[in-house]
Amino acid sequence: MMGQVDIMALAQSVADDMVSWRRDLHQFPELGLEIPQTSAYVQKVLDELGIPYHTLVNGNAIVGLIEGGHPGPVLAIRADMDGLPIAENTGLDFASTNGNMHACGHDGHTAILLGTAKLLQNMKNQLHGSIKLIFQPGEEYPGGAKPMLDEGAFKNPDVDHVIGLHAGSLDPMAPQGVIAYKAENFMASMDRFQIDILGKGSHGAYPETAHDPIATAGLMINGIQMIKSRMIKATEPVVVSITRVSGGYNQNIIPDKVELEGTVRTFNDDQRKFVHQELETMAKNIAQAMGADAEVTYDYKYPAVINDSDFTQRVVDALAKVFSSDQLYESLEPRMGGEDFAYYLQEVPGTFLFLNNPREIDGIFNGHHHEKFDMEEKYFYLGVAAFLTVSFDLLGEA
């Protein structure tokens, strides 16, 4: 740690700034890798703070650099910036009106990293090493982490460790106002599949003249559920969900085609490949039995978020010196949601944290990706305190 710095007081000192930044950003959420207004806003704040930066991914991603006054390791801290195509229904004074919504807390993530950056910039001469500020587009889709890495986000200077957090309530067992952590498996991989069932249409009154893709889809849906329940060990965390069924025209026509779409979640690349192969085999065999054909598209998306054990323990040990015991929470099980922070963890040792700060609307917390999602801003300072603690632990004077 750096001297006798009161980290919690420091973090509280930027609380108003974070609320202001978050509420500004909340009003104009943008999607995917094209977030020019959001990126321009963050660049403006970095300019005001005197923090140098450069852009990647066609100007939408930002890499800031706070160079310490002494040589040492490089810590990357990441925030995602994109929103979701959801019409907001929170009733907030600062609600979005552009048809999109920050329904997953990325506006808060960005504000927390800006607050951290403001404080670290003021103390940079005391740092033994450097801080890279990773402001990322496209986490929701199609994924901005890998393009940023491909364009050198972790180079010049080379990153040694990475940390990030997700606000809201990704671990529903965690109490309000805590930082949650877990070594190793933390969030699942996220893959997408589509099965096009190609049959032969006919009049609904004469099914014997058709190769019915709807009946085939019904058998296929049931069969796909057997992949997890009968082909994979019960203790293995694997999810195979069919989330879209599309086909047909009206009540008396058997269509030529039905589409199934879904997602696969696991923590093991071998399991990802196994599920992929079984989807191919099952789809084609069931379709053949029904006189139809099946085309399977399997997209390997985000890998699993696997926190480095040693680094996570170091982070927890450092946090325990600053946070009270009721402000830290060890998650008991991994979450099956995905996060492309996983790509950063494949490059360098790091850890991903949860800030549990759900806010109720109409008496309930409505969950991530919901039109009434919201967060308690009063806990943003805990995210800043966590980032400062790790920064001072790694880059403080030995």
Does 106 count as an annotated binding residue? yes
Q: Is 26 among the annotated ligand-binding positions?
A: no
Known binder of ligand: residue 140? yes
Q: Name which of 315, 61, 58, 33 is nearest 186 in CA terms.
A: 315
Fold designation for 7-188+304-395: Aminopeptidase (3.40.630)
**pLDDT per residue as tens digits for the range 229-282:** 999 999 999 999 999 999 999 999 999 999 999 999 999 999 999 999 999 999
Residue identified by tokens 């609307």 is 361
The length of the chain, given as a count of residues: 398
Query: What residues does CATH 3.30.70.360 cover in the chain?
Result: 190-301
pLDDT digits (tens, 9 = 90+) for 126-159: 999 999 999 999 999 899 999 999 999 999 999 9
Residue type, 10: L
pLDDT for 2 = 59
Contact (Cβ atoms closer than 8 angstroms) between residue 227 and residue 278? yes
Would you state the pLDDT for residue 5?
A: 85
d(CA 169, CA 79): 17
Tokens of 179: 């930082």
Catalytic residues: 82, 139
Domain 190-301: top CATH class: alpha beta
Position 235 scores a pLDDT of 93
| C-alpha triplet 136, 142, 147: angle, nearest 5° | 50
Q: What is the pTM of this model?
A: 0.95
Consult the annotation and say whether 104 binds a ligand.
Answer: yes
CA 274-32-130 angle, to 5 degrees, is 90
Residues 106/35, Cβ–Cβ less than 8 Å: no
Instruction: Please report the pLDDT score of residue 284 as a whole number.
Output: 97
Element (H, E) at 9: helix 7-13
Give the three-state DSSP class for 186: strand
pLDDT of amino acid 130: 98
DSSP code of 54?
E
- Other CB atoms within 10 A of residue 30 CB: 21
What residues does CATH 3.40.630.10 cover in the chain?
7-188+304-395
CA distance 295 to 265: 21
Cα(393)–Cα(398) distance, integer angstroms: 9
Closest to 377 measured CA to CA, from 14, 9, 6, 8: 14
Distance CA 20, CA 377 (A): 10
**Rounded distance between C-alpha atoms, residue 159 and residue 260, angstroms:** 41
What's the pLDDT at 60?
Answer: 98
pLDDT of residue 14: 98
**CA contacts within 13 A on the Cβ side of 172:** 7
Per-residue pLDDT 10s for the chain (398 aa) are 555 689 999 999 999 999 999 999 999 999 999 999 999 999 999 999 999 999 999 999 999 999 999 999 999 999 999 999 999 999 999 999 999 999 999 999 999 999 999 999 999 999 999 999 999 999 998 999 999 999 999 999 999 999 999 999 999 999 999 999 999 999 999 999 999 999 999 999 999 999 999 999 999 999 999 999 999 999 999 999 999 999 999 999 999 999 999 999 999 999 999 999 999 999 999 999 999 999 999 999 999 999 999 999 999 999 999 999 999 999 999 999 999 999 999 999 999 999 999 999 999 999 999 999 999 999 999 999 999 999 999 999 75
The CA distance from 383 to 159, in Å, is 21
**Are the CB atoms for 119 and 278 separated by under 8 Å?**
no
Amino acid present at 207:
P
Q: 10 Å Cβ neighbour count for 395?
A: 24
- Spacing of C-alpha 154 from chain mean position: 19
Is residue 136 within 8 Å of residue 145, measured between CB atoms?
Answer: yes
Asked if residue 151 lies in contact with residue 64, where contact means CB atoms within 8 angstroms, the answer is no
| pLDDT of res. 397 | 74
Tell the residue number behind the tokens 């195509």, with chain if given: 85
Are the C-beta atoms of residues 10 and 60 closer than 8 Å to each other?
Answer: no
Determine if residue 377 is labeled as part of a ligand binding site. no
* pLDDT computed for residue 12 by the predictor: 98
